[in-house]
Amino acid sequence: MSKVLRIVPLGGLGEIGKNMMAVEYGQDILIIDVGVMFPENDMLGIDLVIPDWTYLRDKFDRVVGIVITHGHEDHIGALPYLLREMRAPIYATRLALGFIENKLKRQGLAKAVEQHAVQVGDQVTIGTFQVEFLAMNHSIPDGVGLAIRTPAGLLIHSGDFKFDYTPTQGVGADFGRLAELSREGVLALLADSTGAERPGFTPSEKVIDPVFDEIFREAPGRIIIATFSSLISRVQQVINCAARHGRKVALAGYSLLENVRMAQKLGYLEVPAGVLVPLDATRRLPPKQVTLLVTGSQGEPGAALARIARGEHRDIDIVPGDTVILSANPIPGNEEVVARVINKLFQRGAEVIYPPLAQVHVSGHASQEEQKLLLALTKPKYFIPIHGELRHLHAHARTAKAVGMPPENIFIVENGTVIEFEDGVGRIGERVPGGYVFVDGSGVGDVGPAVLRDREALARDGFVIAVVPVDQATGEPIGQPAIVSRGFVYVRESSELLEEAARRVEQALLNNGYCSPRAVEMTVKDVLGKFLYDETHRRPMILPVITEI
Amino acid sequence: MSKVLRIVPLGGLGEIGKNMMAVEYGQDILIIDVGVMFPENDMLGIDLVIPDWTYLRDKFDRVVGIVITHGHEDHIGALPYLLREMRAPIYATRLALGFIENKLKRQGLAKAVEQHAVQVGDQVTIGTFQVEFLAMNHSIPDGVGLAIRTPAGLLIHSGDFKFDYTPTQGVGADFGRLAELSREGVLALLADSTGAERPGFTPSEKVIDPVFDEIFREAPGRIIIATFSSLISRVQQVINCAARHGRKVALAGYSLLENVRMAQKLGYLEVPAGVLVPLDATRRLPPKQVTLLVTGSQGEPGAALARIARGEHRDIDIVPGDTVILSANPIPGNEEVVARVINKLFQRGAEVIYPPLAQVHVSGHASQEEQKLLLALTKPKYFIPIHGELRHLHAHARTAKAVGMPPENIFIVENGTVIEFEDGVGRIGERVPGGYVFVDGSGVGDVGPAVLRDREALARDGFVIAVVPVDQATGEPIGQPAIVSRGFVYVRESSELLEEAARRVEQALLNNGYCSPRAVEMTVKDVLGKFLYDETHRRPMILPVITEI
């Protein structure tokens, strides 16, 4: 049997999102996290991106378990898709399991899979691996790191982490345990790189309390707060602050309602009696007693905040005197839509408070000094930066070098590049698939680069279709083609242009006389393309359709 | 004659870009700046956005002059479009006029318009207005503010500004003159809000020198620097630094070559003999002696840096040992494409240095403390924040209130809202058009919301066209429709789906029997839309085309 330990990154290395990794020793494979990524701005029409687990497909029977570090979408979101193809026991802390349960229920998969609730400190044997769940801090309760003992050595996986000496919920990271593990000798540390470009130490969640207090004290009317629906500790802070200032809290947005219900049920949220009220009950309260906690902090067009900003929310209208707090930073790529929501809220007369104008949000990810601390505590032989675009992985590697990690012991790899350890020595292994699988509507993986290129071309200049009638018997083009166009010019004001285009095509085909369907198509493309470019300097997609008459 | 002074913002208020304003007194109209804006991410296929000057169109004969504050695209870019419709003398400093000349030459408009070169301190009478050009600092040499004396009072317009005590080129802002003007009594200050969310003082351009020096000293091979092609002072810094470290500098990118040539010709750039070399001369030099200054700091796909990152630049290939510096911040909305370029450069083996990892760029816009200083120096009665999205205008207003400006003397308005002054008292006036005019190819203003909505729908789910043959005589549908689709599904793998769709349409039309063309179209849309949604959960644009046979 092979004595090689293989780390197979399938997501999250070279991107922010869709975290997934396989750890392989002998016959056994352990999966860590199965997340989704939200599409980038140029992934047109795509709903979600999930990891490409092609590599695992002929090895599903070797998977001994799926370990989840925490309940964020970029760590659990692709589970329903994976579980359509395979089954393995899931290990996660209670809140993450609660969120997973909600997710699987919607897919009718709730009872389909064995689930193990674990807690910090637990050591679980999963096949050949012994997995210990480590206390870490992150922007969701019960986020854990992993110590994975394998026959080839001890791995430490940070999960998403920061170090917070004064977390608002739960206990802080267990520095002592991390240090103890270093005594055993850590073969490799795999650590979260999201915040690797940020110098210093990420502030504690605690710093938000006095900022909220001041806003709650000064606000002349309602307070509307948008944050991540999974950021249960922030929800707790809002509820506590509202209670301190004699305000009620109502929720708007499906995912927020669902997550808060689950967190309450599992004991992750303590709500003083009477503070949480239904949305419609707030209408009868004086504005100074109202706090609305809403979804949409990323400017998502369908979520509560964007609908409020557009004046399209069923229950919530901005009135002068309202104070809106964006208790979140825009995820890279969302800056423009978030800014637009802020501008629209101002337009409607709200006062808007957002970072960096006030410290109403702190990151859930470690900055450089915390990354150094984790390296110092665990003293790994090898270092693998994970969770980040290539620039974050490089920044993290630079930090590791700065505290003495030898460059040759740092592996900067992207999804699909296997790292192997044998006899305590690491090396870069083979390449396996590690790209994007697009979810579009009910289709998984059927939309690829060709369709996206078409969407891009259509988005740029629209299309022009020429329906060319040809004689059924002779194949000769007869009469003028019908021109149909969208997204190219404003059709109502361009009838002359399109009529002239039709005439040109007819004339060209007439000049050609009989020719093959292929030649007809070529002529239509050439003539139309050139004429329309000359007239408009645009290049619409041109499609000839030949109909036999 | 009316004694009302009117300020008519046509661009730049409620957005970053396409700055343009009209100042009106009696019969005379003065235009300040005529800029373009680069399209936002959801303005699909649009090349440029220019101001809507509909308001001026029946008043062009009353325009006494066009004053330009500096040579950036968002202040001069729309001049060629305006000058197609009207003529008026242009007043600008020499470098701005040089850039304008390049621009007008390309349009064959170079000799078409009277141009006046002005310099800091000049006082020019333009119709009823007396305009004084004020020394300010910005990220281009010779940027000016304006003191505009009108019969109704004195206006101060900051232009784009920062205060830099140690500018790398030219003189600093003239604090004394600003203070003197305050003695005359300033009716209203109009000031740049771009940096209004940033606390503190924007660092001097000077801080970049030691950072560059360290990078130039340590870099093991070539240095490739991307910056704004109009940022002539940065070009000067790079040239000086290269000279200090025994490196040559070569340029890549059309706008950079053009701007550097113009700046040299006008004496804005001092190049030590032998330092600037042609691009191909660098091939014969040791890498340690090479600096390449390139365009594309905003990740523009067609510019030099993005082509280098994709491995598609004709002359420049990344080799290990190359150090790339992004000497620019991403303009809001460009974060994602800039990040992608950085990631690709890492992928090719370059070391990449970018803000905030190192201070290789400083903003050209004032931060809050500088905004306070300008208010304190000019002591205006009224304050109008300009140049910024609504959130920036609000942030700037908040700063003004913090230093004692009465809230009722601050006018936060967006493009198209006129501000009037009469007998020293300001008020909000009428609304005039102040929206977007889209330039797409050679079309100006012909692409509007309807076309953009189509492009958006096409970008999301593509289109499906059904060409339905009907009997010429009876109008009855005969035979199966031809289905054409792009951007919806991968056509090669979806022939079954599309064939089934064609069958369903045929069957539905058959069941209907004869009906009007309109009814045929409705049936096709209904049947196809429902079937395709059920099968794919996507909603492509559906277009029926009826052909008579």
Report the distance separating Cα A152 and Cα A165, nearest Å: 34
Closest by alpha carbon to A142, among A182, A180, A103, A100?
Answer: A100
Confidence band, pLDDT 50/70/90 cuts, at residue A1 = low
Long-range contacts of the stretch A282-289 (C-beta < 8 A, 24+): A282/A222, A282/A248, A282/A250, A285/A248, A287/A220, A287/A221, A287/A222, A287/A319, A287/A321, A287/A322, A288/A219, A288/A220, A288/A221, A288/A247, A289/A246, A289/A247, A289/A248
Closest by alpha carbon to B140, among B74, B41, B226?
Answer: B74
Tell me which residues of B are annotated as active site: 192, 365
Contact A9, A49 (CB under 8 A): no
Angle between helix A175-184 and A368-378 (nearest 10): 50
What value does the mean pLDDT take over residues A210-236?
96
Contact B345, B313 (CB under 8 A): no
Residues 39-98 of A with CB under 8 A from B: 40-41, 44-45
Per-residue pLDDT tens digits for B358-386: 999 999 999 999 999 999 999 999 999 99
Residues 524-543 of B with CB under 8 A from A: 535-538, 541, 543
The residue of chain B nearest to residue A470, with distances taken between CA atoms, is: B549
B51: β partners: B436
Per-residue pLDDT tens digits for A385-399: 999 999 999 999 999
Which residues of chain B are within 8 Å of residue A535 when distances are taken between CB atoms?
442
The residue of chain A nearest to residue B457, with distances taken between CA atoms, is: A459
**Quick one: B447 exposed, middle or buried, by C-beta within 10 A (0-12, 13-18, 19+)?**
buried
Angle between helix B495-512 and B517-536 (nearest 10): 140
Angle between helix A449-461 and B449-461 (nearest 10): 180
Q: Does A352 touch chain B (CB under 8 A)?
A: yes
Q: In a 3-state reduction of DSSP, which class is residue A531?
A: helix
Instruction: State the smallest CA–CA distance between residue B8 and chain A in angstroms.
Output: 19
What value does the mean pLDDT take over residues B397-419?
98
Closest by alpha carbon to A371, among A205, A172, A191, A203?
Answer: A191
Three-state SS string over B472-539 comes to CCCCCECCCCEEEEECCCCHHHCHHHHHHHHHHHHHHHHHHCCCCHHHHHHHHHHHHHHHHHHHHCCC
Which residues of chain A are within 8 Å of residue B197 when distances are taken between CB atoms?
356-357
Q: What is the pLDDT, as a whole number, of residue A472?
A: 79
Encoded amino acid at A251, one letter: L
Q: Which two tokens stand for residue B179?
A: 């203070």
What value does the mean pLDDT take over residues A252-281?
95
- The partner residue sitting opposite B543, judged by closest CB among A45, A441, A484, is A484
Give the dihedral of Cα atoms B436, B439, B445, B447; nearest 10 deg: -100
Q: Does B431 touch chain A (CB under 8 A)?
A: no
Instruction: State the smallest CA–CA distance between residue A382 and chain B in angstroms.
Output: 21
Q: Do B394 and A489 touch (CB under 8 A)?
A: no
Q: Does A549 touch chain B (CB under 8 A)?
A: yes
Instruction: State the smallest CA–CA distance between residue B75 and chain A in angstroms.
Output: 22
Q: What is the pLDDT, as a whole number, of residue B36?
A: 97
The helix or strand, by DSSP H or E, that contains position A80, with its residue range, turns out to be helix A79-83
The residue of chain A nearest to residue B13, with distances taken between CA atoms, is: A343
Report the distance separating Cα A49 and Cα B165, nearest Å: 50
Which residues of chain A are within 8 Å of residue B414 when distances are taken between CB atoms?
347
Q: Do B543 and A44 touch (CB under 8 A)?
A: no
Per-residue pLDDT tens digits for B305-356: 999 999 999 999 999 999 999 999 998 889 999 999 999 999 999 999 999 8
Sign of the torsion angle spanned by Cα atoms A95, A98, A99, A104 = positive
Per-residue pLDDT tens digits for A49-58: 999 999 999 9
Mutation site for B-interface testing, chosen from A352, A446, A454 by largest number of B Cβ within 10 Å: A454
pLDDT at residue A169 is higher than 90: no
Angstrom CA distances, B253 to A128, A311, A426, B48, stand at 57, 45, 43, 20
* C-beta neighbour count of B92 within 10 angstroms: 27
B223-226 vs A380-386, strand pairing mode: unpaired
The ipTM is 0.91
Three-state SS string over B357-421 comes to CCCCCCCCCCCHHHHHHHHHHHCEEEEEEECECHHHHHHHHHHHHHCCCCHHHECCCCCCEEEEE
Catalytic residue selected from A365, A387, A392, A396: A365
The helix or strand, by DSSP H or E, that contains position A523, with its residue range, turns out to be helix A517-536
Contact B55, B10 (CB under 8 A): yes
Give the dihedral of Cα atoms A103, A104, A105, A110; nearest 10 deg: -150
Encoded amino acid at B344, one letter: K
What value does the mean pLDDT take over residues B220-245?
96
Domains of chain B in sequence order: 5-200+363-435 (3.60.15.10), 205-353 (3.40.50.10710), 449-548 (3.10.20.580)
Q: Do A536 and B332 touch (CB under 8 A)?
A: no
Per-residue pLDDT tens digits for B438-484: 999 999 999 999 999 999 999 999 999 999 988 878 878 888 899 99
Q: Phi, psi at residue A241, to the nearest 5°?
A: -65, -40
A410: β partners: A383
Q: Could you give the count of Cα atoms lying within 13 Å of A386 in the half-sphere of its Cβ?
A: 33
Confidence band, pLDDT 50/70/90 cuts, at residue A442 = very high
Sequence-ordered alpha helix ranges (H) in A114-231:
175-184, 208-218
Report the distance separating Cα B367 and Cα B377, nearest Å: 16
Instruction: State the smallest CA–CA distance between residue B394 and chain A in angstroms.
Output: 8
Q: What is the pLDDT, as a whole number, of residue A445?
A: 92
pLDDT at residue A267 is higher than 70: yes
Per-residue pLDDT tens digits for B125-184: 999 999 999 999 999 988 999 999 999 999 999 999 999 999 988 778 999 999 999 999
Q: What is the pLDDT, as a whole number, of residue B358?
A: 94
- The partner residue sitting opposite B455, judged by closest CB among A389, A443, A462, is A462
Give the dihedral of Cα atoms B438, B439, B443, B444; nearest 10 deg: 60
Rounded to two decimals, what is the model's pTM?
Answer: 0.93
Which residues of chain B are within 8 Å of residue A333 when distances are taken between CB atoms?
335-336
Closest by alpha carbon to A160, among A236, A71, A82, A99?
Answer: A71
Q: Do A450 and B389 touch (CB under 8 A)?
A: no
Contact B294, B231 (CB under 8 A): no
- The partner residue sitting opposite B343, judged by closest CB among A391, A450, A482, is A391
The helix or strand, by DSSP H or E, that contains position A340, with its residue range, turns out to be helix A335-347
Q: Do A460 and B44 touch (CB under 8 A)?
A: yes
Report the distance separating Cα B439 and Cα B45, nearest Å: 10
Q: Which two tokens stand for residue A539?
A: 């290049």
Catalytic residue selected from A52, A74, A164, A192: A192
Sequence-ordered alpha helix ranges (H) in B266-367:
304-309, 335-347
What value does the mean pLDDT take over residues A346-357?
96
Q: Do B545 and A465 touch (CB under 8 A)?
A: yes
Q: Phi, psi at residue B187, to the nearest 5°?
A: -65, -50
Confidence band, pLDDT 50/70/90 cuts, at residue B1 = low
Which residues of chain A are within 8 Å of residue B45 when distances are taken between CB atoms?
459-462, 487, 538
Residues 459-498 of A with CB under 8 A from B: 459-463, 465, 467, 469, 482, 484, 486-490, 493-494
Instruction: State the smallest CA–CA distance between residue A127 and chain B in angstroms.
Output: 36
Contact B421, B188 (CB under 8 A): yes
Contact B298, B334 (CB under 8 A): yes
Q: What is the pLDDT, as a whole number, of residue B117?
A: 97
Q: Do A389 and B536 touch (CB under 8 A)?
A: no
Residues 235-274 of B with CB under 8 A from A: none
Which residues of chain A are within 8 Å of residue B469 when distances are taken between CB atoms?
547
The residues, any chain, with a CB within 8 Å of residue A474's CB and separated by 6 or more, are: A514
Report the distance separating Cα B167 and Cα B169, nearest Å: 5
Q: Which two tokens stand for residue A188?
A: 């490799």
Range with the lowest mean pLDDT among A98-112, A128-142, A221-235, B123-137?
A98-112
Closest by alpha carbon to B317, among B460, B221, B413?
Answer: B221
- The partner residue sitting opposite A343, judged by closest CB among B347, B390, B538, is B390
Per-residue pLDDT tens digits for B527-544: 999 999 999 999 999 999
Instruction: State the smallest CA–CA distance between residue B441 and chain A in angstroms.
Output: 4
Angstrom CA distances, B541 to A540, B88, B368, stand at 16, 47, 48
The helix or strand, by DSSP H or E, that contains position B105, with its residue range, turns out to be helix B94-106
DSSP conformation letters of B109-168: -TTSS-EEEE-TT-EEEETTEEEEEEE-B-SSTT-EEEEEEETTEEEEE--S-B--SS-S
Q: Note the residue count of chain B.
A: 549
Q: Which two tokens stand for residue A294?
A: 């809403």
Contact B83, B103 (CB under 8 A): no
pLDDT at residue A110 is higher than 90: no
Size of interface A-B (CB pairs under 8 A): 186
Q: Which two tokens stand for residue B97?
A: 């006029």
Instruction: State the smallest CA–CA distance between residue B335 and chain A in angstroms.
Output: 6
**Quick one: B510 exposed, middle or buried, by C-beta within 10 A (0-12, 13-18, 19+)?**
exposed
Q: Do A536 and B447 touch (CB under 8 A)?
A: no
**Quick one: B321 exposed, middle or buried, by C-beta within 10 A (0-12, 13-18, 19+)?**
middle
